[in-house]
A and B are shown apart, each in its own frame.
Chain A
Amino acid sequence: MPLHGAMVMVTALVLLLGGCGGGTMNSVEVRPPAKGLLHYLQQAGQMTNVSDRGYTVTETAEEGQPESGKEASLLLQVRNPAGQPVDEFAEDMTKLMHLIVVSKDLSSFQHLHPTYEGEGRFRVKVTFPHGGPFLLVSEFMPDGKGLTVHKAWMNALGTEPDPTALVASGSEAVVSNGIEIKLSAMPEVGEFKAGEMAMLNFSLSKAGTGERIVLEPYLGTFGHCVILDENANQYVHVHAAAEMSTGSSVMFHTEFPKAGTYKLWAQFQYRGEVITAPYVVRVNK
């Protein structure tokens, strides 16, 4: 009887497996899991909406409110949760601070590196291309803590461009500095889902000739990718997955926190110059 039962079980299993049409087994390298224990533990190390840990950064323009088209000098003062200036910073990807400056309509993007002057003070020169609000995102590692991200808005004087809705660009190739950048993704571009792992793979070649190029490391890795949603609420900064990248193809593993339209800027370095490739993608629920 137990024997008979076991045979019935085996038969049932075969039938059950046959019925589960979607049960393709993948490599975790090909399709990193979007759930499970390892994913949960990895999440803690992801730079999706990293908090400011109670740290504040006050940005002041030294010559009054900055004007569009004119170089402004910004002073950034980092304070700990107790309000005291921070005097210990660790390098994050070769720099003590990364400052991302993005216009509210996401049309303009700059990735800058303020210089440290001691006592929690950084200084940087910025030229705002037009008037209106700009998001300033500063990333730093204070007091032996992990990456800390602070967001603030700053208004620039000058005419504001007409608001244009963000339209998903799909995976069309982008040409920047004579380099053609192609985006392929898993899942396919346009089929991203909120809260699930997405792999973005950028292949770079010479525009026109399609000749292979070999990238140089940029800020300690093969590439950086900054991702913002249309309301500039969801902020993600990912670094290239080194083990999945070669000189002419760079992969990022990321996660879009919520549904919506996102703009992403992938940055690479070739022959001393930084290449920035912007894309607009749609993320479903």
Chain B
Amino acid sequence: MVKRLILPVVAVLVLLACCLLSLLVGRVWIDPAVLADGLTTPRTDLAWLILFELRVPRTVLALLVGGSLGLSGAVLQGLLRNPLADPGLLGVTAGASLGAVIAIYFGLSASVALVTPVLGIIGAVLAAALTLAIGRNGTLTMILAGAAVSGLMGAGLSLALNFAPSPYAAYEITSWLLGSLADRGWDQVLLALPFMLAGWACLIATMRDLDALTLGEVQAESLGVNLGRTRLLALAGTALAVGSATAVCGSIGFIGLMAPHLVRPFVGHEPRRVLLPAAFVGALLLLVADIAARLIPSSLELKLGVLTSLAGTPFFFWLVLRLRRMAPS
């Protein structure tokens, strides 16, 4: 019993340590004393302002976004029974990106800051609706529909870059697409949070069905699983959680792919038990990546999405090699 508790306890301690680090690290290093002091007595100086208005929302957002990516990745891998599935598969990420880029393209983001994430969420939901409309009949058709929708949204992104009104707009679009948590505030957290909570509820509701899918689709259906409902919940949950995450901070790759793999061996590969640990590990990975992005010295900001891709690709290679070794030749 005690042995079973060690791993979760250590994981939570590591997460807390990373949260603390995330609050203190950055262009301006915060003295831990400011944090301790500010908790007991109200402060209004610059250090406290940076801490409360920038670092705390950034840390919270890293946890929420990473958690959404990890959870959605675990659900999709369980649903598709494919270890290479990730939240970008259903066209949701591309849809959210296109929505946000439209806001930047027409200069709407300059007038009201929140227009970008709002349009991003609308884009994610529309992309998911399109994927569902075309590919509702089966899991394979849903993946193909997702690929088609991703392609369509990608074409829209290219079009926006092609006709960008000024080089500056093109630069703004590209740098937004790279994904970052810098300069996000409480507004973004509060905007994304309700969508994420709704998405998590949908994703977690698939737990039991994912377990039954261990036996394949036919047996799962014979055991009373309504596969159409499971697919709908997974798609809607991904659209809401990952869509709003992408709308707020751009597309961030590999977290959704990696997190479920990292936890699977520790929970006996049971799809149900992968979900919450995957969300936890996703949150931890993104937080660590964000801290690293702030620590690595560079004249320009190192974008978070770039860093996760750089760090994630070797993992992907390892995964492919491992699958090749396990598969019968």
Is B one of A's binding partners? no
B interface with A by C-beta (< 8 Å): none
A interface with B by C-beta (< 8 Å): none
